[in-house]
Amino acid sequence: MKHRTLLLLAAAFALVAGLESAAYSQLSPETLKGEDFITSDGVQLVGTYYPSTVGKEAVPVMIIQDLDEDRKTLHPLALALQEQGCAVITLDVRGQGDSNKYVKKLPGKNDVIEKPIGKLAINKETLRRMVEIDIETFKRFLNRQNNDGKLNVKKLCLVGVGGSGSALATAYANLDCSWASQGQGADVRALALVSPRLKSGLASMPTPLPKNLKDLAVYMWYGEEDRLVAKEGEAIAKMFRLQRPGDDKKEVVERLLYEVKVKTRLQGLKLITAENSIVERHLKKFIEIKLQKKDFPAWSMKE
């Protein structure tokens, strides 16, 4: 049954979106750092931006990797999405990859003092800062790109890779969606999770899932031959499904939840980069159908 569903998804996506997505010219990636990426508590964040040539209709995608991994490992996936016309950010949250320094500007001078962050304790407070400060800092960059007519931030897609990457992406999606209930604009429209975990050693998916996520389009992949990860993936999919009653009765391309069990033990980044992996191909179709082919009015100015 699960393999029939996988084939049905692939066939339906191909039917609606065409066999191949349009390819766009690609601009050189840009390193994101400097004053705009120094957090309120003094962390120098570093990321990579893959600009789109589509302009104000470009779909922005933020890819958040597993903790203890480097954003550079996501370069091939970012390039593939950029080729599809997306504006992509890969980012290192505090203490990860190149986001490994505290900086302090000396009063009245242009000089700064740099101090290595070192090994961070991954606790609730650190995770909160990663979500509410670090990811939000990169989101503000996308807001500025939106204001300059270089993308439509109202089409934002978050991609979480591995247990902790998925947890951070989901937590930020919840934060963003919560602003809608406060009368502000929410921008995240889609959430793609590769091997999410309930009990990851570094960061785990919230249980129960926040109600704010009920209107998001969600795509999940995990390797079914690792029974521990698969069991947790099934539980997470069930939680998403409970938020979307009747979703499985809709036409395949109209559903808000897609769960794919891949016949492998590979998870996270290895699942994405494996030879003949379906994740990249499905992710591109998911973005095309749920975001690129849908009209979300642009927000002309975002702070």
Which among 47, 54, 43 has a CA at the least distance from the CA of 21? 54
The reported pLDDT for the residue numbered 1 is: 47
Which among 226, 268, 279, 271 has a CA at the least distance from the CA of 68? 268
> 29-71: per-residue pLDDT in tens?
999 999 999 999 999 999 999 999 999 999 999 999 999 899 9
Average pLDDT for 114-142: 95
Which among 185, 249, 178 has a CA at the least distance from the CA of 213? 178
In a domain, 301, yes or no: no
CA–CA separation, 179 and 188 (whole Å): 11
CA–CA separation, 42 and 59 (whole Å): 30
Q: How confident is the model at residue 18 (pLDDT cuts 50, 70, 90)?
A: very low
In a domain, 95, yes or no: yes
In a domain, 303, yes or no: no
CB atoms within 10 A of CB 278: 16
**In contact, 298 and 146? CB cutoff 8 Å:** yes
In a domain, 298, yes or no: no
CB atoms within 10 A of CB 106: 9
> Between 199 and 15, where is the model more confident?
199
Note the pTM of the prediction, 2 decimals.
0.91
> 166-217: per-residue pLDDT in tens?
999 999 999 999 977 655 668 999 999 999 999 877 888 888 899 999 999 9
In a domain, 32, yes or no: yes
In a domain, 299, yes or no: no
Which among 2, 292, 1, 15 has a CA at the least distance from the CA of 155? 292
Beta strands in 150-303 (DSSP E): 156-161, 188-194, 217-223, 257-262
Residue 88's domain comprises 2-292
CA–CA separation, 137 and 143 (whole Å): 10
> 133-156: per-residue pLDDT in tens?
999 999 999 999 999 999 999 999
In a domain, 70, yes or no: yes
**Rg of the chain on CA atoms, in Å:** 19
Domain count within the chain: 1
**In contact, 162 and 68? CB cutoff 8 Å:** no
The reported pLDDT for the residue numbered 12 is: 53
In this structure, what are the phi and psi dihedrals at residue 277, rounded to the nearest 5 degrees? -65, 140
Average pLDDT for 82-106: 95
Give me 240's structure tokens: 């998403």
Give me 38's structure tokens: 């120094």
**DSSP 8-class letter at 154:** G
Q: Mean of the per-residue pLDDT values for the chain? A: 90
Residue 83 pLDDT > 60: yes
- Enclosing H/E stretch for 195: none
Average pLDDT for 90-107: 92
Peptide bond into 60 cis (omega under 30): no
Percent of the chain residues topping a pLDDT of 70: 88
In a domain, 273, yes or no: yes
Give me 32's structure tokens: 């994101």
What sections of 202-294 are H helices per DSSP? 227-242, 268-273, 279-287
The reported pLDDT for the residue numbered 181 is: 62
Ordered DSSP codes for 250-262: S-GGG-SEEEEEE
The reported pLDDT for the residue numbered 17 is: 42
Average pLDDT for 71-95: 97
CA–CA separation, 267 and 229 (whole Å): 8
Which CATH number belongs to the domain containing residue 128 in this structure?
3.40.50.1820
Give me 113's structure tokens: 């003092």
CA–CA separation, 128 and 110 (whole Å): 31
